């Protein structure tokens, strides 16, 4: 039997020092110190999945197709399109852009 994952929103819900409310939902202005410390511990070790937090986006099938087509037409990835969109939102709110993950290990080149 597979073990269920704990809800991600439960961590750090109580004791917020700096928060704001957007459309009735509390939004933390900065991550709690415990989260920053845990991120620093894994930075550079274990690659992308160990150094980042995954986020899921649910789209209708036709919207997903449109997003993929746009990425192909612009010769980029859906991931980079999403990051660019988030950069625009942060810019509208006088926030710095999202830092991109940069791997420290060299990429293997496939022989074609």
Of 23, 35, 86, 29, nearest in space to 57 by CA: 86
- In the chain (112 residues long), the average pLDDT of successive 10-residue segments reads 58 44 52 54 64 90 96 94 95 93 74 70
pLDDT at position 64, please? 96
In terms of pTM, does the model score above 0.85? Answer: no
Q: How far separated are the first and last CA of the chain, in Å rounded?
A: 42
pLDDT at position 95, please? 94
The whole-angstrom separation of Cα 80 and Cα 68 is 11
> How many beta carbons lie within 10 A of that of residue 64, not counting itself?
13
pLDDT at position 33, please? 60
pLDDT at position 17, please? 41
The whole-angstrom separation of Cα 52 and Cα 43 is 8
pLDDT at position 109, please? 77
């Amino acid at each position: 039997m597979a073990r269920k994952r704990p809800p991600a929103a439960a961590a750090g819900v109580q004791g917020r020092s700096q928060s704001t409310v957007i459309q009735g939902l509390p939004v933390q202005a900065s991550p709690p110190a415990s989260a920053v410390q845990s991120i620093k511990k894994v930075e550079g070790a274990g690659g992308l999945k160990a150094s980042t937090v995954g986020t899921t986006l649910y789209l209708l099938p036709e919207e997903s197709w449109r997003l993929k087509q746009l990425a192909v037409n612009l010769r980029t990835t859906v991931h980079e399109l999403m990051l660019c969109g988030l950069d625009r939102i942060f810019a509208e709110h006088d926030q710095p852009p999202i830092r991109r993950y940069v791997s420290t290990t060299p990429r293997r080149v496939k022989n074609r």
